[in-house]
Amino acid sequence: ITIDAGGVRFYEGDVAGVIEDPSTVNVPQVIKLNTPIGDDFFLNFNLRSGFNSGTKEGADQVMITTTGNEGNSYSPSVLLAKLSAGGSWTSDSVFNGEDVTVTVNSIGARANIKICVGTCPVMTVSPTVSPSALPDASTGAPSSWPSTSTGASPVASTGAPISS
């Protein structure tokens, strides 16, 4: 996957560990953060498992490096960040005047990340069809119940009568 200011500006999802077989992985193993200046950033998940089980630096972390030559030929690289779950990194404004933010949402067998060029899109949740009753703080049951014609006490979902 390649992220840049003029194309794909957002990715949220998994990154496979370096130990996974690239021919069977359906998620990216390396993500290129492509700048217009030639020095690009690369992101990978350094999963400590399999042939990589003895790794010491950056084990089970998302690693961000920078290198030149578009990553197509030899160029010295520099490790910029090692991110654990909850960590984030922001680049300088080298993406046509914008920065890139990488946030690690979670880490397990894969890392779940969010990458944004500039401002991250805000995800909204659709409202429910109709309002629901607020739960009672002490019982968790709805605070309003339909009236009963028998005068019997309402019953919580546990089957126990609710005290007034």
SS3 of 44-56: the string is: EEECCCHHHCCCC
Is residue 41 situated within a structural domain? yes
Residue 164: inside a domain: no
What is the chain's Cα-based Rg?
24
50 φ, ψ (degrees, to nearest 5): 55, -135
pTM value is 0.69
Q: Are 11 and 111 in contact (CB under 8 A)?
A: no
Is residue 13 in some structural domain? yes
Spatial separation of the C-alpha atoms in residues 113 and 102, rounded to whole Å: 7
Does 127 reside within a domain?
no
Query: What's phi and psi for 104, nearest 5 deg?
Result: -95, 115
Q: Is 65 a domain residue? A: yes
* Tens-place pLDDT, residues 76-118: 889 999 999 999 999 888 888 888 999 999 999 999 999 998 8
Determine, yes or no, domain membership for 126.
Answer: no
25-47 residue pLDDT tens: 789 899 888 888 878 899 999 99
Looking at the domain assignment, is residue 136 inside a domain? no
**What is the number of domains present in the chain?**
1
The range of the structural domain enclosing residue 105 comes to: 2-117
Contacts with 44 (C-beta within 8 Å, 6 or more apart), sequence order: 15, 18, 29, 30, 31, 62, 63
